[in-house]
Amino acid sequence: MASGKRMEPAMPWSPRPAPRACSCPPAALRRWLPLLAWMPHYSTQWLRMDLIAGLSVALTVIPQALAYAEVAGLPPQYGLYSAFVGCFVYFFLGTSRDVTLGPTAVMSLLVSSYTFREPAYAVLLAFLSGCVQLAMRFLCLGFLLDFISCPVIKGFTSAAAITIGVGQIKNLLGLQRVPRQFFLQLYHTFRSLGETRVGDAVLGLVCLLLLLLLRLMRAHAPPVHPDTPPGVRLSLGLVWTATTARNALVVSGAALMAYSCDVAGHRPFVLTGEVVQGLPAVQAPPFSVTTANGTVSFTQMVQDMGAGLAVVPLMGLLESIAVAKAFASQNNYRIDANQELLSIGLTNVLGSFFSSFPVTGSFGRTAVNAQSGVCTPAGGLVTGVLVLLSLGYLTSLFYYIPKAALAAVIIMAVAPLLDTGIACTLWRVRRLDLLPLSVTFLLCFWEVQYGVLAGTLVSLLVLLRSVARPGVQVSEWPVLVVQPAGGLHFPAVEALREAVTSRALGVSPPRCAVLECSHICSLDYTVVLGLRELLEDFRRQGLTLALVGLQEPVLHVLLSADLNFQHFPSLEEAEKYLSQEPGTQPHSFSDDPVPEPSLPC
């Protein structure tokens, strides 16, 4: 059992690496092959912890892979084909000791949406997604992920959790001939409740309860301390093992029950059925596919997948990097985001040669990995080898796994994705963020790509609105002081000009004003033109608009534009100068009340 203090690898995970000897590989090579940074320090203690973690993840990923193939609409062996390549690639290229790459619920749902239940489309999608991800790595386009905001991600994952969960109700109840489109699926599921198979329903609910119970036991298990008595330590070790391998235990128990019934001549459950035995053939991804109606060309396949060629790689990168960053922060080490892009892209490209569908970092299995005390990415080697062994020798046993048990595994896996508190949090923090959340959440039930695209566009519109209408703080000195609360970009020029002229030139008598520019770090040409016109408005009335707190780059731009303006380093100096100007007598608070500082538009 992983207990006590976690063994921390000295390199590269510690935040302050110790100096290396001159014999270490060059820094550039270590950057491309992080394996070279920690392998020289590998120890038997790390080996023991990595073996435990790799076994724990394998007992989780094997039943999940079979289940996620069902979500993707593919034969069950494709889930296992997708579960081992990432383990080996990440061993060489990964910068997080915790992350595990493989099939996930979200990616399986996306695969189902774009591949029409055709394995050839799924494998080609993995190849093309990997190519897109590698291109983003080498063209340094990872910043594009920053434009997908947290409300969009939460809306998408919550909708995905509901879609996947509803899609498994049919297997949980043993229903047949239920369509895959969400709303039709919901309608036909409720309409077919009278056809529920009692055996599947009872088994599915029992599996759900057992998985929930084991998860709660895992969450509330007390930690093991060095002074814990041996008997208690053994008991806690058994509890830890059972709760960590809960998916494998529940699925194995259900399969044993189904086998016993089959031997007795009864078939109370819908079974997984035949799973192709053996390792996948190493072959190039299919660039065409032959159907009953003829051959579908590569161009036609790409057109058929459409927006999936953008949505799948982007969401895969987003999920994987988010998982890596979360666990790096939790366990106090740093990751290289560019290297993570390389890892996930190469995993998908190489995986397509082994009939894999698109994969990404799994939050659930990464949590198992971390809680098991993994020390290096070598734990993934153990997981990959065990998946290959299961493909070679255990596929005949998978025949008896009831689909209701796999449905229970999937429902429990996606339940944490449904963030029920995010709407309340956004209501308290910033209500405007509820708009992209709601748009993404609702449209993802129609089509995933429309939900993500629409949510991202709404987020960008919200961002552009804040750029075009920044907050303007107004204060009353003997002269009017106007301070943009954020940067000043060309869409905001007219709003700033209106704020200044309405408060300085639109009153009686008109007065001088100060534009406090300490928050402005750059100017574009449109802003320069707007400031020129604003300065001319003041000069026409014989008044002065003084600029205060200009940063050096901004001052250089204004001087280069041959602007005639007064600049002061502080408000006090500007006030002293402008007090000598006409129209700057102290403002009468009784005749003209001080305006409230304006809120952001």
Q: Please tell me the total count of domains within the chain.
A: 3
Confidence band (pLDDT; 50, 70, 90) for 12? very low
Is 214 exposed, middle or buried (CB count within 10 Å of its CB: 0-12, 13-18, 19+)?
A: buried
Tally of residues, the chain = 601
Q: Which of 468, 495, 526 is the last residue of a domain?
A: 468
Residues 169 and 188 in one domain: yes
Residues 440 and 478 in one domain: no
Residues 244 and 367 in one domain: yes
pLDDT on residue 138: 92
pLDDT in tens, 405-451: 999 999 998 888 888 899 999 999 999 999 999 999 999 998 888 89
pLDDT on residue 594: 35
Name the region of 355 (left: φ>0; alpha: ψ -120 to 50; beta: rest): left
pLDDT on residue 24: 56
The verdict on residue 598 lying in a domain is no
Residues 434 and 403 in one domain: no
Is 438:305 a contact under the CB 8 Å cutoff?
no
Residues 401 and 488 in one domain: no
pLDDT in tens, 465-518: 888 888 888 887 677 899 887 778 888 888 888 889 988 898 888 888 999 998
DSSP state of 12: S
Q: Is the pLDDT of residue 9 over 60?
A: no
Which CATH number fits the domain that encloses residue 569?
3.30.750.24
Domain hosting residue 440, numbered range: 422-468
The verdict on residue 193 lying in a domain is yes
Structural tokens at position 277: 């035995």
The verdict on residue 12 lying in a domain is no
Residues 54 and 200 in one domain: yes
H/E segment holding residue 169: helix 150-173
Residues 392 and 284 in one domain: yes
Inter-helix orientation angle 434-443/422-429, to 10° = 150
Residues 392 and 505 in one domain: no
DSSP state of 25: P
Residues 141 and 70 in one domain: yes
Residues 479 and 460 in one domain: no
The verdict on residue 7 lying in a domain is no
Is 490 exposed, middle or buried (CB count within 10 Å of its CB: 0-12, 13-18, 19+)?
A: middle
Q: Where are the alpha helices (DSSP H) in 174-307?
A: 182-191, 198-220, 230-244, 246-263, 298-305
pLDDT on residue 13: 52
Is 457 exposed, middle or buried (CB count within 10 Å of its CB: 0-12, 13-18, 19+)?
A: middle
Is 397:71 a contact under the CB 8 Å cutoff?
no
Most confidently modeled range among 59-68, 223-232, 503-512: 59-68
Residues 428 and 305 in one domain: no
- Tell me whether strands 360-361 and 566-568 are parallel, antiparallel or unpaired: unpaired
Is 541:505 a contact under the CB 8 Å cutoff?
yes
CB neighbours of residue 478 within 10 Å: 15
Residues 91 and 130 in one domain: yes
